Structure 1
Amino acid sequence: MSTSTLTQPTFQSVAATPTPPTRSRPRPAIASQLFLALLTIGFLAPVFWALLSAFKPANEIIRSPLSFDPSTFNLDNYLAMFHDVPIGSGFLNTGIVLLIKGAITLFFAPLAAFAFAKYNFAAKNLIFGTVLITLMLPTIVLIIPLLLEMKELGWVNTYQALILPGAIDAFAIFWMRQVISAVPDELLDAARVDGCGEFGIFWRVVLPVIRPGLAGLAVLTIMNIYNDFVWPVVIASSDQMATLQVVLSTLAQNITGNRIGADYATVTGELLAASSVALIPLLVLFIALQRHFINGILAGSVKG
């Protein structure tokens, strides 16, 4: 009897213990959402203004820059721009450089990163530290030595000079090393036991695992090559080898040289049209690969 009288209250007290409520994730404050919305509008407003103004008559852009009358929209600025500016050759040269240079970066940078992440060799940390030190060098410091080197090789105004310098940069190696460091060593050992070679381990085991990080690097690489201006304007001085950014930088001179009596309004209208055309590929690329880019950023943030 005494035992039952002692255990009964204990059982009741345990059964009566309330379950702690599940906490829901706090929602962002309205002030934060409003701030982010205003920030987004501030960033996108100039872009929308440029896209819409490119369809306005040239004189209307100068006379009333903030007005938007759909009845006056036309394609005159675009048609004149394609006639006055060699933007087609700029797109072609940029596409060739982007395709070849991007392929070199996305193939050899992960290979170098694989060696730094998964192999032990003499002076490994010293070599990797030297690679990282090159990130601290401004591009302007390297222009004169590279230009003299290209001149000695006879590569001035060639695709080789536009593609090879900087094709495998330190940032790409560092990015992929961080991603590959997270790949378990057990996967590599299992592949070696099955008789897979070292390159086969990289191609069949490592590469499928690091696809998110590789996709993020691809987006950044494409954007960097597409927007590169300093090196192409130095090494490609001829009109035949000018990339898109070089063509845009000399757009005003091309317009005034190809059209007699071209005024400020004409140059502004065609400049907005050319900028809109140049913006479209990157905008489509980022929208299409936005998910992969975000996943790649997260994959590249892994601590090695």
Structure 2
Amino acid sequence: MTTVGSSMRRSGRVSRRRPADSGRGAALVGQLFLGLLAALALAPVAWAVVSAFKPANQIVADPLGLDPSTLGLDNFRAMFQDVPMARGFANTAVVLVTKGALTLFFAPLAAYGFAKYDFRGRSLLFGTVLVTLMLPTVVLIIPLLLQMKELGWVNTYPALILPGAIDAFAVFWMRQVIAAIPDELLAAARVDGCSEFGIFWRIVLPCIRPAIAGLAVLTVMNIYNDFVWPVVVANSDRMSTLQVVLANLAQNITGNRIGADYATVTGELLAAASVALVPLLVAFVALQRHFVNGILAGSVKG
């Protein structure tokens, strides 16, 4: 009986281990699949960065070849001589800091009003905000450009910063997050004599900090990569943002710059794109944990 019982216990232990082993196997397969997708997504970026160090003629003659002995910084030196990268970075930094600050402050503030205040026309007003999400950016360019012209803001920082500073998606996302904050917590703050703005600043903002961090990542990426509006409203070299500077360099491939062949301009373009990639990549790697937490913060209400 002892032998039979011990064998049954052993068989039970074996049977209980099988689901765990199959779960680990499924997790491993999933990780391998995700790793393959990540490799496919990063392959073009890796090729562009590596090719930026290759001689210009070699990029065109043998795009997939790689000779480590020929790698160098010639493309980067020529690019910094021909392209006003410093001005592009400076203009982008001004727009990024100012517009990002406006978005991260006023979007949660507006969302707080929609989530926690009951006033006449709230649903209609919030629905109007959501309707603006359906409007393509191209539809808004001409009206906004005419407004900037009437205000005398063409080729100025206000034209680059103010339109779109309060994003409808940001208001919607922050409203979903703030709605999950218990009303009793805010009522207790009012009983203690806290002002309405004090409640927002001292209670609401700390509670939604992960969501704000996620919104900050999205805001930085959108502003940094924005091209259509800056190229329309700031068409002077003095006000060009980084993406406009890169686009002007790309135009040289078609022969706008006399004496520059296709290979030379391609090498400089890859070098400029690699330099422009660094700040965004560093910011995303540093804030990716906050980005994931911010996305999850708005996924569950309760």
TM-score for the superposition, normalised by structure 1: 0.89
2: CA distance between counterparts of 1:93 and 1:294? 29
2:23 aligned residue: 26
Q: Which residue of 1 aligns with 2:7?
A: none
Matches within 5 A, 1:79-228: 79-228=77-226
Q: Identify, as 1 or 2, the structure richer in helix.
A: 2
Aligned partners of 2:214 and 2:294 also within 8 Å: yes
| Superposition RMSD in Å | 2.1
Q: Specify the code of the residue in structure 2 equivalent to 1:216.
A: G
Quick one: distance in 1 between partners of 2:216 and 2:274? Answer: 23
Shift of 1:253: 4.1
Match of 2:66 in 1: 68
Give the CA deviation at 1:169. Answer: 1.2
The answer as to whether partners of 2:252 and 2:265 remain within 8 angstroms in 1 is: no
TM-superposed deviation, 1:69: 1.6
Paired positions, count: 286
- Which runs of 5 or more structure 1 residues have no equivalent in the other structure? 1-17
- Which consecutive aligned stretches of 4+ in structure 1 deviate over 6 angstroms post-superposition? none
CA distance in 1, matches of 2:77, 2:197: 51
Instruction: State the distance in 2 between where 1:35 and 1:299 align.
Output: 27
Closer, same or farther in 2 for the Cα pair 1:61/1:254, shift >3 Å? closer
Identity of aligned residues (%): 74
Separation in structure 1 between the aligned mates of residue 30 and residue 287 of structure 2, nearest angstrom: 27
2: distance between equivalents of 1:48 and 1:220? 23
Letter aligned with residue 131 of structure 2: I
In structure 2, what is the Cα distance between the partners aligned to 1:131 and 1:235?
A: 24
Shift of 1:266: 0.3
Q: Is the 8 A contact 1:77 1:269 kept in 2?
A: yes
Distance 1:136 1:168, change over 3 A: same
Amino acid at match of 1:26: G
Using structure 2 for the length normalisation, give the TM-score. Answer: 0.90
Q: 2:17 matched to 1:38?
A: no
Shift of 1:30: 4.9
**Residues 85 and 254, structure 1, Cα contact 8 Å, conserved in 2:** no
Whose radius of gyration is greater, 1 or 2? Answer: 1
Q: Which runs of 5+ in 2 are unaligned?
A: 1-11
